[in-house]
Amino acid sequence: MKLMRYEKVGAVPVDVDDANGCRIRCLIGQDDGAPSFTMRQFEIAAGGNTPKHSHAHEHEIFVLGGEGIVMDGNVERPIKTDYFVYVAPNEVHQFINNGSSPLKFLCLIPHQLREMRGTCVAACGCDG
C-alpha cells in the first residue's frame, strides 16, 4: 500500500510545446506496483493551459479545485471544482485555466501507454 499526502510528490513543469503554467505530479504508477492505471495530478496556474492534443487513449479527470475550460475539439466547456471529465480516445482536448486561482485536477490513464513515446509523453510530460 502507498499512503501519503500528494504534496510529498514533487511537481515538475509540463515541458512540451504549447503548455503554459502547467505542473504535474505522478502520484501512482507502475513503479508503485499498480497493475492497470497511472494517477497524475495537474496544476495549471491562472492564465495557463495544457497543449491542445489528442491520442489513442482515454483520460479520466476529476477537478479538485479552481475553474477553467476544457476544449472539446473547438467547443469550450466550463469546468470547476467537483466536475469530472471523460476524454475518449482520439478526442481533441485542452485544459485552460481562465480563473484567478490554480486549476487542479486528477488524471488517470491506462498503463499500456507507458510503453508509448511521442504523443503520450508529449501530451502529459510524465515519464512515470
Residue 85 lies in a domain: yes
* pLDDT-based confidence at residue 123 (cuts at 50, 70, 90): very low
Beta partners for 28? 39
How many other C-beta atoms can be found within 10 angstroms of the C-beta atom of residue 33? 9
Q: Write the CATH number for 40.
A: 2.60.120.10
11 or 36, which is more confident:
11
106 domain residue, yes or no: yes
pLDDT over 60 (residue 128): no
Taking all residues of the chain, what is their mean pLDDT, rounded to a whole number? 88
How many other C-beta atoms can be found within 10 angstroms of the C-beta atom of residue 101?
Answer: 11
Residue 33 banded pLDDT, cuts 50, 70, 90? confident
Is 93 part of any domain? yes
Query: How many structural domains comprise the chain?
Result: 1
- Sorted by sequence, the CB contacts under 8 Å of residue 115 that are 6+ apart come out as none
Residue 2 lies in a domain: no
pTM for the predicted model, two decimal places: 0.86
Q: Is residue 1 part of a domain?
A: no
The whole domain housing 45 covers 10-124
